[in-house]
């Protein structure tokens, strides 16, 4: 076998290929595999980080929904309490106004009754005074003569009975 002839070129090609393969394996294959492994690890790490971020976003979304629900419930509770306070204050104000109205009516009735009694007493006094004045004038006119005076005294004495 002659190694220089073209028939033997395949042999040399094979030898060169094997040498090249050994050289590549020794010097290039490991760094290439290492770079590929690092790239794969980097991609896996990025995917894990993305999954973790996705899970965290889902948790945050759930937490936000929970907080939003709690805030709505708290708002409803506050509004309900405010409505109850409003109703209680309105009811209390109505009761106080009703009680105050009854008190004012009672005071007005008492005042009216007192003024009525005073007016009646004053009218009685005026009537008594007028009656006395009228009686005085009538008696003065009737008893102007002595004969009439004696007759009145006798009539009064006859009317009086001793018991």
Residue 5 falls within a domain, yes or no?
no
pLDDT at 3: 59
Residue 66 falls within a domain, yes or no?
yes
Residue 1 falls within a domain, yes or no?
no
pLDDT in tens, 34-90: 899 999 999 999 999 999 999 999 999 999 999 999 999 999 999 999 999 999 999
Look at the pTM and tell me if it is higher than 0.85.
Answer: no
Summarize the chain as % helix, strand, coil (round to 5): 95, 0, 5
Residue 105 falls within a domain, yes or no?
yes
Residue 36 falls within a domain, yes or no?
yes
Distance (Å, whole) CA 159 – CA 9: 186
Mean pLDDT of 125-130: 86
- The yes-or-no verdict on residue 127 having pLDDT over 90 is no
What is the SS3 assignment for 105? helix
Residue 3 falls within a domain, yes or no?
no
The structural domain count of the chain equals 1
Residue 143, burial from CB neighbour count under 10 angstroms (0-12, 13-18, 19+): middle
Closest Cα partner for 84 from 76, 96, 95, 72? 76
Question: What's the domain range around 29?
Answer: 10-159
pLDDT in tens, 84-108: 999 999 999 999 999 999 999 999 9
**Which bin fits 22, alpha (ψ -120 to 50), beta or left (φ > 0)?**
alpha
Residue with tokens 């009516």: 105
Residue 70 falls within a domain, yes or no?
yes
pLDDT at 132: 84
* Whole-angstrom Cα Rg for the chain: 65
């Amino acid at each position: 076998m002659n190694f220089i002839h073209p028939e033997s070129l395949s042999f040399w090609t094979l030898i060169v290929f094997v040498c090249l393969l050994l050289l590549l394996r020794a010097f290039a294959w490991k760094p290439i595999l290492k770079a590929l492994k690092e790239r794969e690890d980097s991609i896996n790490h990025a995917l894990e980080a993305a999954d973790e971020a996705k899970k965290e976003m889902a948790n945050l979304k759930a937490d936000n929904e929970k907080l939003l629900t709690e805030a709505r419930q708290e708002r409803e509770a506050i509004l309900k309490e405010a409505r109850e306070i409003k109703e209680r204050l309105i009811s209390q104000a109505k009761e106080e106004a009703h009680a105050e109205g009854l008190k004012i009516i009672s005071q007005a009735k008492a005042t009216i009754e007192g003024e009525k009694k005073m007016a009646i007493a004053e009218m009685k006094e005026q009537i008594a005074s007028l009656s006395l004045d009228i009686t005085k004038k009538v008696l003065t006119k009737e008893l102007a003569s002595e004969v009439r005076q004696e007759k009145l005294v006798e009539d009064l004495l006859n009317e009086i009975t001793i018991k």
